[in-house]
A and B are shown apart, each in its own frame.
Chain A
Amino acid sequence: NAGVMQNPRHLVRRRGQEARLRCSPMKGHSHVYWYRQLPEEGLKFMVYLQKENIIDESGMPKERFSAEFPKEGPSILRIQQVVRGDSAAYFCASSPGQGWGTEAFFGQGTRLTVV
């Protein structure tokens, strides 16, 4: 049973390009979180999704960032017109449900570098 899979592991983009980060949850998991982490800093919540539904996007910047989790396929975090400040590690975690007792497991992360 594969764990949470993220790809690519490393992504380099020039300023102004688009970055697409993918997250395939563990088998049987229907909920996905996305977090951003800068070096030597904590995990910053971005968005919480269920298949075909955004539960909470309070941590997403209003512009350039979007996320989806379609009925089929991985969850996608999309960053348009990237800037140097978007350089960070982006982690996704999946869980089987919502609320009490639901443990979340992380993927290996995508390290985004904007040059």
Chain B
Amino acid sequence: QKEVEQNSGPLSVPEGAIASLNCTYSDRGSQSFFWYRQYSGKSPELIMSIYSNGDKEDGRFTAQLNKASQYVSLLIRDSQPSDSATYLCAAILTGGGNKLTFGTGTQLKVEL
């Protein structure tokens, strides 16, 4: 089982819709979770961090964490073509020496 798992996509949504990106992790003791956005040919950019169960909102982005289900998600409201990128889920795995571990990423395409 991969330590941090994401569906590779691509996920296609129409402009203005809500994009929902999902991630599961294997280490039940993990406490810190992050979403990064990576445009093609660029470096990853941190967009959200979440540490507690529930929702955390920042502008059009909402991160959701459910530790009991070992599940993290990212919702993007009013999706724009500029949101088209690969979204990387990451976790600090307590069983892995506290290193930041990434999923393989989900490619999001927002269509006009």
- Tell me the bound Cα distance from A99 to B100 in angstroms: 9
For A30-51 the 0/1 string (1 means CB < 8 A from B) is 0001010000011101001000
The 0/1 profile, CB within 8 Å of A marked 1, for residues 90-103 of chain B is 00101011111111
Across the interface, which residues of A come within 8 angstroms of B96, CB to CB?
Answer: 56
Instruction: Determine if B46 and A33 form an interchain contact, defined as CB atoms under 8 angstroms apart.
Output: no
Q: Please judge, given known A-B contacts A104-B46, A105-B46, A106-B45, whether A43 and B102 are in contact too, CB under 8 Å.
A: yes
The answer to the question of B88 belonging to the interface, with a C-beta cut-off of 8 Å to chain A, is: yes
Q: Given A102-B32, A106-B44, A107-B43, are A45 and B92 neighbors across the interface (CB < 8 Å)?
A: no
Contacts of A48 in B (CB 8 A): 97, 99-100
How many residues of A are in contact with the other chain, CB < 8 A?
25
B49 at the interface (CB under 8 A from A): yes
Contact between A33 and B100, CB atoms less than 8 A apart: yes
A53 to chain B, nearest CB (A): 12
Smallest beta-carbon distance B28→chain A, Å: 15
Contacts of B92 in A (CB 8 A): 99-100, 102
Chain B residues within 8 Å of A, Cβ to Cβ: 31-32, 34, 36, 42-46, 49, 51, 88, 92, 94, 96-105
The interface of chain A, by Cβ under 8 A from chain B, is 33, 35, 41-43, 45, 48, 55-56, 58, 91, 93, 95, 98-109
